[in-house]
Amino acid sequence: MNRVIVVIPALNPLPAVVDFVRKLQALPLAGIIVINDGSDKRYNSTFEQLKQENCIVLTHEKNLGKGRSLKTGMEYILKSAERPKGIITVGAHGQHSVLDVEQVLSSTKIFSDGIILGVRDFKASDYPFLSKLQNRANSILFELFIHKRLLDIQTGLRFIPREHLSWLSKVKGESFNYDTNMLIEAIKRNVPLYEVPIGYAKLRKNSITYYDEVLDPTKIFQQLWLNFLRKGKMPKELSSKRKRK
């Protein structure tokens, strides 16, 4: 199969996610998987509607975090008979438009060998100035510690080829830190990272949670510092390959 599966981690999603999924169905996708990450019972009707829209809904009995939700989706695909070209991870709270998803989907025709990052435009006037600074600070810290310049390390809109799902499902991080760990591990493995511009960054203040919001630079610093201290370590398979050379 040459099409892509959309994976949406969701905690207490707004009803608007149903309409969003309907619009996504118009794209040439292999399917849509939604992970109910321990949402309150009053959101059950929303997930039932998503099932009626031909979405596969996977459920965590309690909130386990964005990282675990993404890994649950990856593990499901790896165990199923589906063999998609890859997955596109998408936010459930209106962070991404259908046009954003379509932009990343179109980019897979060119950049199918690596991870594609949908880079948000933080110049929108309604986006908090502090959040804009935090995003910039996070990118600077990432470049300082990892020696790779990326404009938006916390974007939740990403394409991941199927061949990378196996090791990505084992990357550490159950919460927001998984997004950064994914990039660090990809760089260690020499997996290409492509940046594709998408629309304005959106902050949904009425949402209960923001799965791919800009993080406090202090948390990013702590995470990158720990990775920096361990940077001499590498995946076992990579280490064995180097020894054989």
User: Mean pLDDT in the chain?
Assistant: 84
Max alpha carbon distance in the chain (Å)? 57
CB contact at 8 A, 3 and 85: yes
Closest CA to 36 of 11, 2, 6, 55: 11
Give exposure, 76-89, as e/b (b: 16+ Cβ within 10 Å).
bbeeeebebbbbbb
Task: Give yes or no for residue 178 having a pLDDT over 70.
Answer: yes
Q: Which residues contact 24 (CB under 8 A, 6 or more apart)?
A: 6, 32, 90, 98, 101
- The per-residue pLDDT for 199 is 73
Q: Give residue 72's pLDDT.
A: 98
User: pLDDT tens digit string along 58-98?
Assistant: 999 999 999 999 999 999 999 998 889 999 999 888 888 99
The helix/strand/coil state of 64 is: coil
Is the Cβ–Cβ distance between 191 and 148 less than 8 Å?
no
pLDDT of residue 99: 95
**Which pLDDT score is estimated for 208?**
44
pTM for the whole structure: 0.82
pLDDT at 222: 61
From residue 203, how far is each of 173, 209, 213 by CA, in Å?
23, 11, 8
Q: Are 214 and 114 in contact (CB under 8 A)?
A: no
Cα 239 versus chain centre, distance: 27
Q: What is the pLDDT of residues 17-69, one digit of tens each?
A: 999 999 999 999 999 999 999 999 999 999 999 999 999 999 999 999 999 99
3-state secondary structure of 53: coil
Does the pLDDT value for residue 215 go beyond 90? no
> Which one is predicted more confidently, 202 or 94?
94
Task: Please spell the DSSP secondary structure of 208-223, one letter per residue.
Answer: S--TTPPPPHHHHHHH
| Torsion angle of C-alpha atoms 17, 20, 22, 24, degrees rounded to 10 | -130
| H or E element in which residue 69 lies | helix 66-79
DSSP classification of residue 179? H
- Give pLDDT, residue 206: 43
